[in-house]
Homo-oligomer: A and B are copies of this chain.
Amino acid sequence: MPETRLDLARIRAARQVIDPVFLDTPLYRCEALEPVLGCAVSIKLETANPVRSFKGRGTEVVADGLAGAVVCASAGNLGQALAWSGRRRGLDVTVVASRHATPAKLERIRALGARLELVDGDHELARERAVAIARRDGIRLVEDSLDLETCEGAATIGLELADAGTAFDAVLIALGGGAMATGVGHVLRALAPGTEVLCVQPAGAPAMTRSWHARRVITTGPTHTIADGVAGRRPIPEVLADLLLVADDAVLVSEASIVAGVRLLFEHAGLVAEPSAALGIAAVLEAPDRFAGRHVVTIVCGGNVDPAAFRGWLA
C-alpha cells in the first residue's frame, strides 16, 4: 500500500456520497481503435454525465456536508462540477477562471448557477485569486489535487478499473494538477499492482512531468496547449510527493499527437473528447513500440469542447 496522503477506506467511502450518475461509468474494449494503435484498447468513459467530465466524483465528496459558500479556481471542468454539486446542496459557489478558458465551459458554469469571476491571466492567476477570495470572505477554498476529496473522488475511477475483472497492462491517465493520477494510481498500486500507471501531459504544459522526473517541484513559464484542462505551471509539492509514489512514468506528447488523438476517438470510437481526454491515445501514437501487443485502458476524462474548435480538430 503506497504511503500517499490517500486512503483506500476513505476512497471506498467516497463512493457512498457521490451521486450515482457519476459512478460505474462505461468501460469497454474499443476494437476499432486497435489496428491504428497496435495494442488492445479499453476506454473508461467519464463524459456521459451532467457535467461531461470526471470532476463530479471529486466535487460530490467536497460538497458533502459543506454548508455556506465555497470558491475554486478552474479551467472549466472543476467549476462546472462544483457548481452542480453545490447547487443541489444549496451552496453558494464562486468559480474563478481565466478569461481565456474554453467559452463553452464558462457558459455552463454560469448556467449551473455559480458566480463566475474571470481573471486576465492564466490558471495560476485564477488560483491566486481564488485564495484571496477565500481569505477575504472566510469561505471554503477548494484546491484541485491538493484537497484530498478531489483526489479520493477521482480515485473511485481506480476502484472501478480494479473491479473490472480485466488485468490491464497499463492505464493512461491525463496529468494536470495530479488529482486523477494520484487517485487512480494509489488504488491501482494497492489493488492491481501489475498495471503500469502512466501519466501523460502535453509538452506545452510540462511542469508536473518535469517535476516527477526531477523528483522536485519545477515550475514553468506560460503554457502552450489546446489541452486546457491540464495546463498548470506550478505543481503542488504534496501532490508531487504522492505522484512519485504511485506513477511508473510520466510522458509528454505533442500538440499534433493530441489533435490526432481527438480525431481518432471521434472517427473510430464515436466520442467527443476534449484534448485532455485524448492524451492517452496521443501517448500510444508517439510510442507504439512501448504498447505493442499490450492491453491499455485510457480514461476519457472530459468532453467539454467548443463545437467550432472541435470541428477544426477534425478538419
Contact = CB atoms under 8 A, between A and B. Distances in A.
Nearest to A315: B311
A151 to B, nearest CB: 24
Contacts of A32: 108, 111
Contact of A31 (B26, B50, B305): B50
A26 B56 CA distance: 14
A26 B26 contact: yes
Contact of A48 (B28, B112, B266, B315): B28
B303 A270 contact: yes
Interface string A232-275: 00000000000000000000000000000000001100111000
Contacts of A50: 28-31
Nearest to A30: B50
B28 A270 contact: no
A46 to B, nearest CB: 10
A186 interface: no
A314 interface: yes
Contacts of A271: 272
Contacts of A47: 270
Interface in A8-50: 21, 24-32, 43, 45, 47-50
A307 B28 contact: no
Contacts of A266: 272, 307
Contacts of A305: 270
A315 B314 CA distance: 12
Given A45-B48, A272-B270, A26 B25 contact: yes
23 contacts: A24-B24, A25-B26, A26-B48, A26-B49, A28-B49, A28-B50, A29-B50, A30-B50, A31-B111, A31-B112, A32-B108, A32-B111, A43-B48, A48-B48, A266-B307, A267-B307, A270-B304, A270-B305, A271-B272, A272-B272, A307-B314, A311-B311, A311-B315
Task: Please provide the 3 A-B residue pairs with the shortest distance between their CB atoms, ordered closest to farther.
Answer: A26-B48, A270-B303, A270-B272
Given A31-B111, A32-B111, A311-B315, 18 more contacts: A21-B26, A21-B27, A26-B26, A26-B48, A28-B49, A29-B50, A30-B50, A31-B50, A45-B48, A47-B270, A48-B48, A52-B270, A266-B272, A267-B307, A271-B272, A272-B272, A311-B311, A311-B314
